[in-house]
Amino acid sequence: MTDDILISSCQCGKVRCQGIGQPIISGVCYCDDCQAGAKLLEVLDGASKVTEEDDGTHYLTYRDDRFRCIEGGELLQAYQHSLNARTRRMVASCCNTAMFLKFSKGHWTSSYAKRFTGDIPAVEMRTQTQFRNSDLPLPDDAPSYRTFGLRLFWRLFTSRIAMLTG
């Protein structure tokens, strides 16, 4: 485990978060929840795009104990695309920048890769391609899965064990 720290920040710099070490996964998701969430956030006044060219959303997913807001946490505002959504997308209210999302039942935080500076990890997988709406060719930079794929679940499982055992 490396102690590298990646910093993400909103457009105006008032909200900053950090991810410590390697993320659980660096992945692009095309699920209907991510697409609905992106549509909700990208129309906010002055908001930046959270999706990639092919409408997938690139996340760096960290264990909750390895991701935190280090500045401007009071400026974060939660958005849900529906009343029953199990994810909350956190937006810096100062400049309407989407920062990360939190799955209510998970031990992880998925942060928008576009918010980080420096050398971010390369995409390791593309998930939920069955919901992909783009006419662009599917990038071949990483394995693609029609669903979430066992690899993702394995990474989440082993990260939970690592979190529990310190």
- Written as one letter, the residue type at 153 is F
111 pLDDT higher than 90? yes
Are 57 and 34 contacting, i.e. CB atoms less than 8 angstroms apart?
yes
Question: Average pLDDT of 57-86?
Answer: 94
**Interatomic CA distance for residues 91 and 101, integer angstroms:** 9
Q: Residue 156 is part of which domain span?
A: 5-165
Q: How many domains does the chain have?
A: 1
What percentage of the chain carries pLDDT values higher than 90?
Answer: 88
**Is pTM beyond 0.95 here?**
no
Q: Which residue has the higher pLDDT, 55 or 83?
A: 55
One-letter amino acid for residue 23 of the chain: P
| pLDDT tens sequence across 31-67 | 999 999 999 999 999 999 999 999 999 999 999 999 9
DSSP codes of every residue in 119-152: -PPPP-EEE-GGG----SPPP-SS-B-SSS-HHH
**Average model confidence (pLDDT) across the chain:** 94
Read off the pLDDT band of 166 (50, 70, 90): confident
In this predicted structure, the answer to whether residue 3 has a pLDDT above a threshold of 70 is no
Quick: pLDDT tens for 129-165.
Answer: 999 999 999 999 999 999 998 999 999 999 999 999 9
Q: Average pLDDT in the 12-30 region? A: 97
CATH number at 52 reads 3.90.1590.10
Task: Using DSSP, state whether 37 is helix, strand or coil.
Answer: helix
